[in-house]
C-alpha cells in the first residue's frame, strides 16, 4: 500500500514481521516531500520501533484477522484452541499469552488474532466466572473497611477477594484489571 | 453532550470567533493599504505543475492548490496590488498542521520583491496581534514570541550549516533537504522570535526568479513562527521561456515518478510575457490562527476537518 494510506491502526509488514501502527505523524515542507514518521509495535514480540518514510514509499499490508475460538486444554507449553466455525484446532505458545493464560477455563470463548494463519494473541472476555479452590482464613477485625484476603481460582489465578468468600464459591473477575467483581449466587 | 464534548465546543467556539476577527483585521489591513481583494476560480483546466503538491480533480479539471497563477495573470493585466483569501486543496495532506482543504492568504505587489513581501508580513502579523489586544508578544505552546520587526533572518545555507550540520550548496539531495528541514532545521529555530530563511537553492526556485548576482540561489523566502511554516515569498520570475522550461521539467518528473499527467498552464505562460517585476507571498491562514489561539493542532481552529466533514 502507498505510504500515504498507512495510518494509525494500519497493520503492515516490515522484514516479514507484522506491525501495528501505534502513532503516525505527517510532516511536510510546503513545497517539499511529505515525511511520515511512525511508531510501530511488532505483533509477534511486542517490541516497539520508529520508522520514517517519504512520499512515494510503500509498505506491504499485513494480513491480520480476528476469529472466534474456544479454549480446549493445555499441553506442555501450549494452549490448544478450536476455531468455532471450522472446528480446526490451533495452538498458542504460553509465552505469547503471558498473564492471559491464568484466566483460561476449558470451554471459554476468546477472540484470536491471526497473522495469515498463525495465531498471535487472544482477547479474553471482559468478565469471567471461576470457582475459588483455595483461600486463607481471614482474621476478624473490628474495622468497617472492607477486609480482603488472597484466594486461588480454578484457573490458577491468585487474586484478592473479600473475607466472606469461601472455598467452592463462584466469583466474577474483571480480566482487564484482575480485580474481584462479585460473588455469583447459584440459581436455585 | 459529555463534559469533554462541552469543553471542546467552548474552546472551538472561542477559536472560531478569534478566527473571524483575524479575517476581519486582515481584510482591513490590505484594504487600508490600497490592495484590491479578488476572487479567482477554484476549478481550473491547468494549475502550476508541482511534483510534491498533488491536486484533487473535479470533472477532469483541478481544484486550486493555490490562486498564484490567476493572481499573476491579473498583475500582467495591469493590477498593481492584489490579495485573496481562498480555499486551497492538496491531496493526502493530513496531520497536526495539515488538512487537505485549507485557507490561503496570498498578496502581490507589482514593483515589489521577496523582501518587500516579508516586510508586509511582519506588519500584518504585528497588526493582528495588537488589534487582538495581545500587544507585540504572544504566548504559543508555553513560549513567549516577540513579534517586533525586523524578524530574525538567515540564508538557507546558513540555516542548514548551523542547525543541520551540513551545507546544502546550490543543488542538495532533495530527500535529505526536506527531511532535515522538518526534523532538524525548523525545530531548532529561535523559539522566541519569528524566523525568515531566504535564498533557496536554484532547483527549489519553483516560480521565483534567480538572484541576479548569485544565480545558484532563488529569491525565495519562508517565514516560521513557533515552529510553524507560515508563509512562502517570491520575487516573481517574469521570463516566460524560463518558466516554461521549469514547468516542462516538473511535468516530466511527475509523469516519470508518479505516472500523473500534469498539463502545461498555457494561458498563464502567455500572460507572463506582460508580467511586471513583482513580489508575491502565500500565507497559511489556518496556521496563523493557530498561533493566535495557542492551538497545537489545525483541527482546533477549523469548524470541520477532513475527519469530521
**Residue numbers in chain B where pLDDT is lower than 70:** 1, 8-9
- Count Cβ–Cβ pairs < 8 Å, chain A vs chain B: 57
Report if residue B219 sits inside a domain: yes
Report if residue B107 sits inside a domain: yes
Top pLDDT among B193 and A44 is at B193
State the nearest Cα–Cα gap between B278 and chain A, in angstroms: 20
The residue of A4, A30, A36 whose CB has the most chain B CBs within 10 angstroms, and thus the best one to mutate to test that interface, is A30
Q: State whether B95 and A26 contact (CB < 8 Å).
A: yes
Which member of B52, B95, B257 has the closest CB to residue A31? B52
CA distance linking residue B34 with residue B285, whole number of Å: 21
Quote the ipTM score: 0.88
Whether A146 shows a pLDDT value over 80: the answer reads no
| Residue A90 pLDDT | 95
Q: State whether B98 and A28 contact (CB < 8 Å).
A: yes
Q: State whether B50 and A31 contact (CB < 8 Å).
A: yes
Report if residue B271 sits inside a domain: yes
CA distance linking residue B191 with residue B145, whole number of Å: 7
Rounded to an integer, what is the distance from CA A10 to the centroid of its chain? 18
Q: State whether A30 and B229 contact (CB < 8 Å).
A: yes
In this complex, is the C-beta atom of B253 within 8 Å of any C-beta atom belonging to chain A? no
pLDDT band, residue A124 (cuts 50/70/90): very high
Listed in sequence order, the residues at least 6 apart from A118 whose beta carbon sits closer than 8 Å to its beta carbon are: none
Whether A151 shows a pLDDT value over 70: the answer reads yes
* Domains, chain A: 3-61 (2.30.30.30), 64-123 (2.40.50.140), 127-184 (2.40.50.140)
Report if residue B242 sits inside a domain: yes
Q: How far is CA B235 from CA A95, B207, B211, in A?
A: 64, 9, 9
Nearest residue on chain B to A26, alpha-carbon basis:
B95
Q: Where are the beta strands (DSSP E) in chain A?
A: 11-14, 17-27, 35-42, 48-54, 60-61, 64-75, 78-83, 89-93, 109-115, 118-123, 127-135, 148-153, 158-162, 170-174, 179-184
State the nearest Cα–Cα gap between A94 and chain B, in angstroms: 40
Residue B169: HSE in the Cβ half-sphere, 13 Å Cα cutoff = 5
A155 touches A130 (CB < 8 A): yes
| Residue B24 pLDDT | 98
Residue ranges making up the domain that contains B25: 3-301
Mean pLDDT across A9-20: 94
pLDDT by residue (tens digit) across A59-97?
999 999 999 999 999 999 999 999 999 999 999 998 888
Cell readout for B206 is 519553483
Q: State whether A52 and B179 contact (CB < 8 Å).
A: yes
Report if residue B267 sits inside a domain: yes
Rounded to an integer, what is the distance from CA A156 to the centroid of its chain? 17
| Residue B145 pLDDT | 98
Rounded to an integer, what is the distance from CA B92 to the centroid of its chain? 17
- Where b means 16+ CB within 10 Å and e means fewer, A41-74 reads bebeeeeeeeeebbbeeebeebebeebebbbbee
- pTM of structure: 0.83
Chain A residues closer than 8 Å to B53 by CB? 31
| Residue A187 pLDDT | 62
B118 touches B221 (CB < 8 A): yes
Mapped onto helix, strand or coil, the DSSP state of residue A41 is: strand
In this complex, is the C-beta atom of A27 within 8 Å of any C-beta atom belonging to chain B? yes
Q: State whether A34 and B92 contact (CB < 8 Å).
A: yes
pLDDT band, residue A185 (cuts 50/70/90): confident
State the nearest Cα–Cα gap between A4 and chain B, in angstroms: 7
Largest separation between any pair of C-alpha atoms in chain B: 63
CA distance linking residue A110 with residue A155, whole number of Å: 15
| Residue A145 pLDDT | 63
Report if residue B308 sits inside a domain: no
Listed in sequence order, the residues at least 6 apart from A15 whose beta carbon sits closer than 8 Å to its beta carbon are: none
Top pLDDT among B47 and A139 is at B47
Mapped onto helix, strand or coil, the DSSP state of residue A82 is: strand
H or E element: which one contains B18?
helix B3-32
Q: Residue B199: give its domain's CATH number.
A: 3.30.930.10
Whether A188 shows a pLDDT value over 60: the answer reads no
Q: How far is CA B76 from CA A95, B73, B261, in A?
A: 72, 5, 27
pLDDT band, residue A55 (cuts 50/70/90): confident
Q: State whether B174 and A33 contact (CB < 8 Å).
A: yes
Closest residue by Cα to residue B159 from B229, B209, B214, B111: B229
Report if residue B14 sits inside a domain: yes
Q: How many domains does chain B have?
A: 1
Report if residue B309 sits inside a domain: no
Q: How far is CA A4 from CA A36, A38, A119, A152, B174, in A?
A: 8, 12, 29, 50, 19
Amino acid at each position: 500500500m502507498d505510504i500515504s494510506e498507512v495510518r494509525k491502526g494500519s497493520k503492515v509488514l516490515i522484514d516479514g514481521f507484522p506491525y501495528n501502527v501505534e502513532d503516525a505523524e505527517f510532516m511536510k515542507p510546503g513545497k517539499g516531500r511529505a515525511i511520515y514518521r511512525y511508531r510501530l509495535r511488532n505483533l509477534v514480540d511486542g517490541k516497539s520501533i520508529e520508522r520514517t518514510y517519504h512520499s512515494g514509499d510503500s509498505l506491504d499490508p499485513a494480513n491480520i484477522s480476528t476469529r472466534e475460538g474456544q479454549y480446549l486444554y493445555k499441553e506442555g507449553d501450549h494452549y490448544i484452541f478450536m476455531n468455532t466455525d471450522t472446528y480446526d484446532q490451533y495452538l498458542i505458545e504460553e509465552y505469547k499469552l503471558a498473564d492471559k493464560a491464568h484466566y483460561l477455563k476449558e470451554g471459554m470463548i476468546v477472540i484470536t488474532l491471526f497473522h495469515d494463519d498463525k495465531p498471535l494473541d487472544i482477547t479474553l472476555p471482559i468478565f469471567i466466572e471461576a470457582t475459588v479452590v483455595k483461600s486463607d482464613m481471614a482474621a476478624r477485625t473490628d474495622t468497617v473497611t472492607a477486609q480482603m484476603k488472597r484466594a486461588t481460582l480454578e484457573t490458577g489465578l491468585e487474586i484478592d477477594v473479600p473475607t466472606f468468600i469461601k472455598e467452592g464459591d463462584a466469583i466474577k473477575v474483571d480480566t482487564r484489571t484482575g480485580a474481584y467483581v462479585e460473588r455469583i449466587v447459584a440459581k436455585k | 453532550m459529555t463534559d469533554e464534548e462541552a469543553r471542546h465546543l467552548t474552546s472551538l467556539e472561542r477559536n472560531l470567533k478569534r478566527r473571524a476577527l483575524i479575517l476581519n483585521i486582515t481584510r482591513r489591513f490590505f484594504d487600508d493599504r490600497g490592495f484590491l481583494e479578488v476572487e479567482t476560480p477554484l476549478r481550473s483546466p491547468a494549475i502550476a505543475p508541482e511534483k510534491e503538491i498533488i491536486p484533487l480533480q473535479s470533472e477532469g479539471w483541478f481544484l486550486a492548490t493555490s490562486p498564484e497563477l490567476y493572481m499573476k495573470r491579473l498583475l500582467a493585466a495591469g493590477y498593481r496590488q492584489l490579495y485573496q483569501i481562498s480555499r486551497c486543496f492538496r491531496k493526502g495532506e493530513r496531520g497536526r498542521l495539515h488538512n487537505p482543504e485549507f485557507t490561503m492568504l496570498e498578496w502581490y505587489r507589482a514593483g515589489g520583491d521577496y523582501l518587500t513581501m516579508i516586510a508586509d508580513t511582519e506588519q500584518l502579523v504585528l497588526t493582528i496581534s495588537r488589534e487582538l489586544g495581545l500587544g507585540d508578544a504572544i504566548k504559543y505552546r508555553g513560549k513567549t514570541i516577540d513579534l517586533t520587526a525586523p524578524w530574525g533572518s538567515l540564508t538557507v545555507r546558513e540555516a542548514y550549516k548551523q542547525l543541520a550540520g551540513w551545507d546544502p550548496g546550490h543543488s542538495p539531495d532533495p530527500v535529505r533537504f526536506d527531511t532535515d528541514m522538518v526534523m532538524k532545521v525548523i525545530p531548532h529555530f529561535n523559539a522566541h522570535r519569528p524566523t525568515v530563511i531566504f535564498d533557496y537553492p536554484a532547483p527549489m526556485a519553483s516560480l521565483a526568479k534567480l538572484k541576479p548576482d548569485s544565480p545558484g540561489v532563488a529569491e525565495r523566502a519562508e517565514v516560521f513562527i513557533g515552529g510553524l511554516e507560515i508563509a512562502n515569498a517570491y520575487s516573481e520570475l517574469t521570463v516566460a521561456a524560463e518558466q516554461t522550461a521549469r514547468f516542462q521539467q516538473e511535468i516530466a518528473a511527475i509523469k516519470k515518478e508518479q505516472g500523473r499527467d500534469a498539463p502545461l498552464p498555457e494561458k498563464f505562460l502567455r500572460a507572463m510575457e506582460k508580467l511586471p517585476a513583482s513580489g508575491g507571498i502565500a500565507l497559511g491562514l489556518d496556521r496563523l490562527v493557530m498561533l493566535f489561539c495557542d492551538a497545537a493542532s489545525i483541527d482546533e481552529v477549523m469548524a470541520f476537518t477532513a475527519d469530521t466533514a
